[in-house]
């Protein structure tokens, strides 16, 4: 599982650390750096998946660009950045650090791609050992006119164990999933698929392609939670194979707006909020166990009165399927729905008033937090801007 993200000279950040727990909530005002954090995780996932650095940043026909592309990836006036993700394998007391260092000028290229270990003594923060599992450095080949791997170092004697660990670490990075549902794309027919797309455009195809047992279980869970979302009552949600060759699928539901009157509709008639809610549920139910799901503005299109329902599914399904969740939100109703127990897992993105660079601060590290919470709920403090004001005064 991912335990921490470290950003150095990435976009608006000079240096910042983001602890990652089973449920982490990232808050902050507009342009504070929240989206830059999400894009750092997306970039790491793309690189671990095998994309070259230019495509990972600038995109291509199939892959959307990260905002700003290559030009704005490094914190100005720097021309390189590094990202690190701390990964802890199951039943291990060692932290593995996946590290990538990238130059953006004069051409986008990887300088180093490595995995190292950091072993703690007695579970405290004092490292007793640190070494590379592998370290791959890169250089520019004039004859080939491209960046190529130049030197590969394995510094761990137990190569067999290292190979297995490297595979698991890379899988943890590859399993980062950035969820950004786009309802307009979810309304179309979709091909049968094994993996949910980031925009959830193939949600029907993913559900319909499951085995009969998995499909029945997922549809039952979707139906159980979705019935509490609308003003009326959604009785059932399911996906169905369609077309002559049964290679496509459509999403359907049964609605009851008047007692005893059942209406069947497909995704083309479902509301944006309903589709986004179904996308979140489907991601939680179909992503591999042990995945990291990242959701920006998770409550977009959701009525404030349904915030508690969203919190319920995040906690219940995330815990049951061992899926870690990082979400960003501006919604005071959602913050209040989490209750005081979420305070240790809230991180505030904010701008330094002197340097203008983005910072990440644990909510519980704010000096006058007890006084703030005594004056109002977390949602109310966010609405009033009291948290950012306290951080500005905390020098």
The mean pLDDT of 72-79, rounded to a whole number, is: 96
58: three-class secondary structure by DSSP: helix
Whether residue 76 has pLDDT greater than 90:
yes
**Nearest CA-CA partner of 41 in 387, 311, 303, 324:** 324
- For residue 61, how many other CB atoms are within 10 A of its CB? 4
pLDDT tens for 287-335 read 999 999 999 999 898 899 999 999 999 999 999 999 999 999 989 999 9
Backbone angles phi, psi at 237, to 5 degrees: -130, 135
In this prediction, residue 152 has a pLDDT band, given cuts at 50, 70 and 90, of low
The mean pLDDT of 332-360, rounded to a whole number, is: 95
The mean pLDDT of 381-388, rounded to a whole number, is: 92
Backbone angles phi, psi at 60, to 5 degrees: -150, -160
- Least confident range from 21-25, 325-329, 390-394: namely 390-394
Determine the pLDDT at residue 343.
96
Q: Which residue has the higher pLDDT, 377 or 259?
A: 377
Whether residue 238 has pLDDT greater than 90:
yes
In this prediction, residue 337 has a pLDDT band, given cuts at 50, 70 and 90, of very high
The answer to whether the beta carbons of residues 176 and 2 sit under 8 Å apart is: yes
Percent of the chain with pLDDT over 90: 72
Instruction: Please name the residues in contact with 135: beta carbons below 8 A apart, sequence gap of 6 or more.
Output: 112, 114, 116, 151, 152, 153, 155
Determine the pLDDT at residue 95.
84
The mean pLDDT of 177-183, rounded to a whole number, is: 97
Specify which of 183-197, 364-378, 381-395 reaches the highest per-range mean pLDDT. Answer: 183-197
Q: What DSSP state is assigned to residue 340?
A: G
What is the widest separation between alpha-carbon atoms in the chain?
75
pLDDT tens for 275-290 read 999 999 999 999 999 9
Task: Looking at the chain, list the stretches that DSSP marks H as alpha helix, in order from N- to C-terminal side.
Answer: 34-48, 53-58, 159-174, 183-186, 203-208, 212-226, 272-286, 307-320, 332-338, 369-375, 378-384, 386-393
- For residue 138, how many other CB atoms are within 10 A of its CB? 19
Return the residue matching tokens 């979709």. 190
Cis check for the bond before 106: say yes or no (omega within 30 of 0).
Answer: yes
The mean pLDDT of 346-367, rounded to a whole number, is: 95
**Nearest CA-CA partner of 113 in 85, 138, 140:** 138
**Per-position DSSP letters for 146-191, written without gaps between them:** EEEEEEEE---S-HHHHHHHHHHHHHHHHTEEEE---HHHHTS-EE
Determine the pLDDT at residue 273.
93
Determine the pLDDT at residue 121.
47
For the entire predicted model, the pTM comes to 0.91
Determine the pLDDT at residue 60.
93
Whether residue 123 has pLDDT greater than 80:
no
Task: Find residue 258's DSSP bridge partners.
Answer: 261
State the Cα angle at 334 between 352 and 386, rounded to 5°.
35
């Amino acid at each position: 599982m991912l335990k921490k993200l470290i950003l150095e000279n990435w976009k608006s950040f000079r240096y910042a650390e983001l602890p990652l727990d089973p449920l982490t909530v990232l808050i902050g005002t507009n342009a504070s750096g929240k989206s830059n954090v999400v894009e750092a995780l997306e970039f790491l996932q793309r690189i671990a998946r095998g994309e070259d650095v230019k495509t990972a940043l600038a995109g291509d026909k199939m892959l959307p660009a990260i905002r700003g592309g290559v030009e704005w990836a490094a914190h100005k006036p720097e021309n390189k950045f590094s990202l690190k993700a701390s990964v802890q394998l199951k039943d291990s007391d060692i932290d593995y650090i996946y590290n990538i260092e990238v130059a953006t000028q004069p051409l986008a290229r990887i300088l180093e791609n490595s995995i190292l270990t950091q072993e703690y003594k007695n579970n405290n923060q004092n490292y007793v050992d640190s070494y590379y599992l592998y370290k791959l450095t890169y250089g520019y080949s004039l004859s080939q006119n491209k960046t190529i791997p130049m030197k590969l170092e394995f510094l761990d004697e137990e190569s067999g164990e290292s190979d297995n660990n490297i595979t698991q670490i890379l899988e943890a990075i590859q399993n980062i999933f950035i969820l950004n549902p786009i309802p307009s794309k979810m309304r179309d027919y979709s091909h049968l698929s094994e993996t949910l797309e980031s925009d959830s455009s193939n949600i029907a195809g993913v559900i319909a392609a499951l085995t009969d047992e998995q499909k029945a279980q997922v549809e039952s869970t979707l139906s159980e939670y979705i019935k509490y979302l609308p003003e009326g009552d959604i009785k059932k949600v399911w996906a169905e194979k369609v077309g002559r060759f049964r290679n496509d699928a459509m999403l359907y539901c049964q609605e009851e707006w008047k007692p005893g009157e059942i209406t069947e509709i497909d995704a083309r008639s479902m509301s944006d909020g309903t589709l986004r809610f179904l996308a979140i549920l489907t991601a939680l139910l179909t992503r591999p166990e042990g995945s990291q799901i990242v959701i920006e503005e998770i409550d977009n299109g959701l009525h404030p009165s349904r915030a508690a329902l969203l919190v319920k599914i995040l906690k219940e399904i995330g815990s049951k399927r061992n899926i870690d969740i990082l979400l960003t939100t501006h919604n005071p109703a959602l913050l209040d729905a989490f209750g005081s127990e979420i305070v240790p897992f809230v991180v505030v993105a904010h701008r330094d008033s002197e340097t203008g660079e983005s910072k990440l601060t644990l909510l519980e590290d704010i000096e006058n937090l007890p006084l703030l919470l005594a004056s109002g709920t977390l949602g109310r403090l966010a609405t009033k801007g009291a948290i950012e004001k306290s951080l500005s005064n905390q020098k």
